[in-house]
Amino acid sequence: MRRPDSADGARIAILAGVFAVAFAGLTLRAGQVALSGADEFRAVAGEAAPALGRRGDIVDRNGEILASTLSTYSLFADPKLVWNAEETAAALRAALPDLDVAETARKLASNKRFVWIRRGLGPRQRQAVFDMGLPGLDFREEPRRIYPRGRLAAHALGFTTIDGVGAAGAEKAYDAELSAGDGRPLALSIDLRVQYAVDEELRAGLEEFNAKAAVALVTDVDTGEVLALVSLPDFDPNLPAESSPDGRLNRALASVYELGSIFKTFTLAMAIDTGAADPARILPTDQPVIAGDVVIAEHAPAPRRLSVGEVFVRSSNPGAAYLALEAGGAVQRDYLQRFGLMERAPSPFAESARPILPQTWDEIAVATVAYGHGVAVSPLAFAGAFGAVVNGGEYVRPTLRPVGPRGALADRVIESGTSHVMNGLLRAVVLEGTGGRADVPGLAVGGKTGTAEKAVAGGYAPDRVAASFAAVFPADAPRYAVFVVLDEPQGADDAPGRRGAGHTAAPVAGRVIARIAPLLGVARRDETTAAAFGARGG
């Protein structure tokens, strides 16, 4: 075997040098490609997802934060700079355990220059990926919307898309203001303390009566401000994609209900305001009312004819129908229009639903609308109308923004004297009628029950009802209204006779009032004084 001579050594040295230079060149070129590619990549990424200014916080009326924005990191890739799509995707799985490796590999093997891998990473996840040193990957710092109260006030707040664009609720309604980038918070009329109390009591009522769904609103009847809005079932706005459409449905605005006898509030207000009736007038309630081919009779006939006040307190359907037919369809429609019930609630929320109205306003429609059948409205629309009945007679647009005292935005609907009489009748319903379970000692609660069979194909289902209660307190000096709807409550011990609002929605409203009155500065008074108001009209 020939021993290597000096010439062989020289050749080996030359070859080693050539390989070293070549390797250095490749390394340099790889670095240049990586750097230039990263610059180009970042430019492409900037065009694909332009930077967003800081979205304004949302706060309640007292400045408590309901929604804010934090910085997070989003991982993206330029597939052309990824050396091996399958190996890169597999490696990422170590830092992102729930990553879909196959789908990520497909993204990384595409011909695109920009693909998102995962958005909304925390600092630890970002660092874990960064430490891998995988080529073709980079991060973008992005804002992430957070809701520190979780489900509380979810439907009032709504949520944003992953790109920070308002998608529902206040986030969508006030998107332009929130995304202005000036850092100013957006205040809602919601009172977080009141919202919490209402939320807790409504959840308890939903469970107690095994209801399908529930809604509650608390409003300031002087200003129209919504102090609490609860719709159940609900969702976590931090995780909107994980919630169901049923949970995201804002029933306070987007659902409409036939509300039954609480609509008699507007029928009685109309009759009294036109001068056609006063609380003492006796009506022929001992006879059924015939409207077209519909016969409207008492479910439990009274031993005598009822006065107008008793029609309201005892919740007489034929009595309400008689008053509406006496007034006529044109007058009825005019008052309902004034009360804001002929159109959707005036709200910037896209979810606000239009009412369902009779196709033809004939005698049957006039008679049945008088006691809340044949017309369906949203809870927010009803709350606005009810406020006009009890606040002295002025319609004030319901709002989820803080506002000042009533002014040019208030429209007179009924005379102040009519409003005073109606408050007395509402108090009488709680003292003597179906609203007794809503009473709270010392707070002079007034209210009206409504139990409406739900419409189904071919008629109404007697075993499926919407039970509602509209309350005002104090009835002798009205300031706040509470409206509760339980959708298909089962009643105590599943007794059919206890599905009604007097047994279900009324006690929930009473518990709400007992909780929130101290928060709103409404003190309890001597029981004799509180109970004195309301003897059939104040």
Report the candidate in 376, 383, 304, 303 with the shortest Cα–Cα distance to residue 347: 383
List, in order of start, the domains of the chain with CATH numbers: 58-187 (3.90.1310.10), 194-532 (3.40.710.10)
Residue 441: asked if its preceding bond is cis (omega within 30°), the reply is no
Query: What pLDDT, in 10s, does the model give residues 422-478?
Result: 999 999 999 999 999 999 999 999 999 999 998 887 778 888 999 999 999 999 999
Amino acid, single-letter form, for residue 392: G
Burial 27-49 (b: 16+ CB within 10 A, else e): eeeeeeeeeebbeebeeebeeeb
Q: What is the CA radius of gyration of the chain?
A: 33
Query: Does the pLDDT value for residue 4 go beyond 80?
Result: no
Burial 262-272 (b: 16+ CB within 10 A, else e): bbbbbbbbbbb
The model's confidence at residue 536, banded by pLDDT at 50, 70 and 90, is: low
pLDDT of amino acid 538: 53
User: Out of 109-123, 147-161, 318-332, which region has the weakest mean confidence (pLDDT)?
Assistant: 109-123
Looking at per-residue pLDDT, the higher value among 28 and 240 belongs to 240
Query: Does the pLDDT value for residue 34 go beyond 50?
Result: no
Report the candidate in 327, 325, 322, 323 with the shortest Cα–Cα distance to residue 287: 322
pLDDT of amino acid 19: 40
Query: Does the pLDDT value for residue 405 go beyond 90?
Result: no
Query: Does the pLDDT value for residue 524 go beyond 60?
Result: yes
pLDDT of amino acid 18: 36
pLDDT of amino acid 528: 59
Query: What pLDDT, in 10s, does the model give residues 207-260?
Result: 999 999 999 999 999 999 999 999 999 999 999 999 999 999 999 999 999 999
Query: Which 3 state secondary structure label does DSSP give 176?
Result: helix
At residue 424, φ and ψ (nearest 5 deg) are: -65, -40
What average pLDDT is seen over the chain? 87
Q: Indicate which residues carry an active-site annotation.
A: 261
Query: Does the pLDDT value for residue 17 go beyond 50?
Result: no
The model's confidence at residue 533, banded by pLDDT at 50, 70 and 90, is: low
The model's confidence at residue 123, banded by pLDDT at 50, 70 and 90, is: confident
Share above pLDDT 70 across residues of the chain, in percent, rounded to a whole number = 86
* pTM for the whole structure: 0.83
Share above pLDDT 90 across residues of the chain, in percent, rounded to a whole number = 71
Query: Does the pLDDT value for residue 28 go beyond 50?
Result: no
Sign, CA dihedral 175-176-180-183, equals negative
Residue 148: asked if its preceding bond is cis (omega within 30°), the reply is no
The number of beta carbons lying within 10 Å of the beta carbon of residue 161 is 14
pLDDT of amino acid 498: 78
CA 46 to chain centre: 35
pLDDT of amino acid 16: 42
Sign, CA dihedral 304-310-312-313, equals negative
CB–CB of 311/283 below 8 Å?
yes
Query: Does the pLDDT value for residue 143 go beyond 60?
Result: yes
Q: What is the DSSP string of 428-441?
A: HHHHHSTTGGG--T
Burial 490-499 (b: 16+ CB within 10 A, else e): bbeeeeeeeb
The model's confidence at residue 414, banded by pLDDT at 50, 70 and 90, is: very high
The model's confidence at residue 23, banded by pLDDT at 50, 70 and 90, is: very low
The model's confidence at residue 183, banded by pLDDT at 50, 70 and 90, is: confident
Burial 128-151 (b: 16+ CB within 10 A, else e): ebeeeebbbbbbbebbbbebebeb
